[in-house]
Structure 1
Amino acid sequence: MKSGNTGVLFCFIALAVVVFGGEFAGGILASMFKTKVGRALDNKLNSTFQDYRPKTNVSNENDVAVTWDYLQDWFDCCGARDYKDYKGVKFQDPQMFVPKTCCVLKSGDATDPVPVNNIACQRDARNEVKSSDFLFTKGCLPDIKDKVEWYASILIGVAFGMTFFQLLLLLMACCAFNRDSGSGRGYIICRWRCC
């Protein structure tokens, strides 16, 4: 029983094979390069401190400073590796050694941070302490890297799941092609009774 659509079905199968191969190769490449994310993040994040300009008023907000303020507020961290990343930053207040978002905050508001004790926080940063009740001493890089790798794992899993579903559809299309062609070609691809 021929339906007359074997040419269209063959084109669909050919395109599906190309797309399937691309998705499968992309999933494998994403899995391989997922581990290199940490090094790239480390290099990129550390290079942003030279562009960090603390805001003195709302009109001169700096995108790098705003981004770091939000990251530090979300992850309860300071700097990329640690709070010492801010050593070269010139703050308007000479008694500041780290942004206020590096301090333990009363509220989680990165746009208007209010430290629990700003004086103790800045003192601990100046004295380069290893741990503090007022200053976040750990860097943000490990948390950011973990978050990026976690989301990458989800995306890779979804991509492989979609690839498996697409493979199933491809096999069904091959069965339909085999049935519609009536010539017996392609029977090796699909030997199921439904074909």
Structure 2
Amino acid sequence: MGRTGYTCIRHVFCSLNVLIWLCACGMLGAGLWMRFSYPYAYGTLVPQHSYASSDVLVLATGCFTFVVAFFGCCGAWFQSRFLLITYFSLVILIFMAEFMLGTLAFVFKDQVGDNMKSQLRYGISEHYTEENMHESGTFSNFWDYIQSTFQCCGVDKYYDWYNIKAWPREERVPDSCCVHRERYCGKQYDNDDRQLNWYQDGCLSAIQIWLVQRLHFVGTVGLVIGFLQLFGLIASMILFCTLIDRRSKRGSTVALCRFWMRAAD
């Protein structure tokens, strides 16, 4: 490869990784803000798996992206074969992880749906509390927001809220399940028809429909990420191979000079 082409690929590759590095810094900042702004917030519908909370996922993704972009940027700038091959290996691992996750999600899609349903029910039963339902970012506030926004109640039906830990031996629902919301509208008494004021549909189907409607956005983001990963793989290999070729030629030139100097002596 000519010097101009090598320099162009090197600068573009380095600039791209600087941009990704800055994005990673932004993700780290957002994750830290979420962690310290809502220290007791779950940020997830499955609090029994705290590693799946939004702040943990953002921080983990930001840290990994920061490290990968650091190897790529430094490898291109300092023309380091070790850093470039490390960058290449990390991107290959990302590709493999994405492929495996996509394959497993497709093969076990029914089991994933059933497991999600049971986990959501468990979260409602064990982690919903009335004390922090008005505190922004908490699990209880999160569920109230979903039910009010999607006009639904519970996972499958409103009876998912019956006899939960927050109100044992009570067949009631949160006030966010009410069509016409008012204080204690989720409670029912003897010979009471308050169930007619509750949303009859569960939230699981509403959440699934919301996700399906946004698959085009997810697909677009996935294509952009895939293109950047592919470019990173190709560019890092070109830079790596060019460095090996240049240093081998330089070594051959030095050896030839030494040979002629010895011959002259």
Deviation, structure 1 residue 78: 0.6
Q: Is the 8 A contact 1:27 1:156 kept in 2?
A: no
Judging by fraction of residues, say which structure has more helix. 2
Q: From 83, 87, 94, give the equivalent of 2:162.
A: 87
Query: If the length of structure 2 is used for normalisation, what is the TM-score?
Result: 0.46
Residue 123 (structure 1) aligns with = 193
Distance 1:136 1:71 in 2: 12
Point out where structure 2 has 5 or more consecutive residues left out of the alignment: 4-74, 250-265
1:86 offset after TM fit, Å?
1.8
**Shift, 1:172, TM fit:** 2.9
Measure the CA separation in 2 of the matches of 1:49 and 1:119: 17
Deviation at 1:10, TM superposition (A): 2.5
Superposed CA deviations along residues 89-120 of structure 1, whole A, max 9, x for unmatched, are 4759x7x7322211224xxxxxxx549x9899
Match of 1:181 among 247, 259, 264: 247
Distance in 1 (CA, whole Å) between partners of 2:245 and 2:209 is 49
Distance 1:154 1:87 in 2: 41
2:132 pairs with 1:61: yes
Change in CA separation of 1:44 and 1:53 when aligned onto 2, cut-off 3 Å: closer
Q: In 2, are the aligned partners of 1:76 and 1:136 still within 8 Å (CA)? A: yes
Counterpart CA distance in 1 for 2:128 and 2:225 is 40
Q: Determine which of 126, 132, 140 is the counterpart of 2:203.
A: 140
Q: Which residue of structure 1 aligns with residue 126 of structure 2?
A: 51
Q: Where does 1:7-26 land on structure 2 (aligned, <5 Å)?
A: 8-26=79-97
| Contact 2:186 2:194 (C-alpha < 8 Å) held by counterparts | no
| Contact 2:173 2:186 (8 Å CA) reproduced | no
Q: Which residue of 1 aligns with 2:236?
A: 170
For residues 66 and 23 of structure 1, what CA distance do their matches in structure 2 show?
34
Q: Which amino acid aligns with 2:199?
A: F
Structure 1 residue 67 displacement after superposition: 2.8
Q: TM-score, normalised by structure 1?
A: 0.59
Please point out which of 101, 114, 132 is paired with 1:39. 114
Q: CA deviation at 1:53?
A: 5.5
2:152–2:177 CA contact under 8 A, matched in 1: yes
